[in-house]
Amino acid sequence: MVRDGYFYALALIAAAALLGGLTRPAWAIIPCLLAIFFLWFFRDPERAIPQDAGAVVSPGDGKVTDVSTVTVGNQRQMRVSIFLSVFDVHVNRSPIAGVVREVRYQRGKFLNAMNSVSVDKNEQNVVTVEGDGRTVVFKQIAGLLARRIVFTPKLGDRLERGQRVGLIKFGSRVDVLLDGSARMNVKIGDRVKGGASVVAYLQPQGAPMAAGSAPAHERAH
């Protein structure tokens, strides 16, 4: 359980006691139900982290909404987008083991995270992790309901694959940007679990791109 859940739940239980005492007990039902919801929403289950060489795990729970090739600067990269509904676990995890090289917070809008422009326009936290000579970028992107992004590690911290790094509250999106030679392990519509589902495999440095590793469609970004 993320401790935020206890704070919300305790506040609502106090409100329920106050309402029930000052008015009628029936008025306490709604805040009690909300307290239960927050305890459930901030759940933080243990996960078995894959140990496969080169595995990149999902940074969050949710549904894969995009797997595509994008161009960032002059580099070709693979992007996986995952939509987290209000019913998903919202704890975020590091996709690879490595060192935090950059943390960049970008203020912006709160558009529906399913909207394709949300990747550029929405408020987000962009994290770069470097490990074993490979660099992976993942984004915590706020959504229509999300109003707070939490990322606890600091610049220079060493992360393990699947390590908890923060969360996004109340519906959101996470993107993972990988080297263009990465072999994708998910497709649009797949359900993934943070820290447990492998979204891609990074190729050893110097290895040729595996046949069929790129998706059928490419899109500039």
Positions marked active-site: 172
* Polymer length of the chain: 221
Q: What is the C-alpha to C-alpha distance for residues 82 and 78, in angstroms, rounded to an integer?
A: 13
Dihedral (Cα; 66, 171, 143, 189), 10-degree rounding: 10
How many other CB atoms are found less than 10 A from the CB of residue 100?
A: 19
Neighbours of 212 (CB within 10 A): 9
Which single residue is written with the structure tokens 């990747």?
Answer: 119
Distance CA 109, CA 122 (A): 4
Reference 110, options 83, 139, 141, 140; nearest CA is 141
63-83 burial by CB neighbour count: b if 16+ within 10 A, else e?
A: bbbbbbbbeeeeeebbbbbbb
With a CB cutoff of 8 Å and minimum separation 6, the contacts of 198 are 50, 52, 55, 56, 57, 58, 185
What six digits make up the tokens of 215?
Answer: 């998706």
Q: How far apart are CA 66 and CA 192, in angstroms?
A: 13
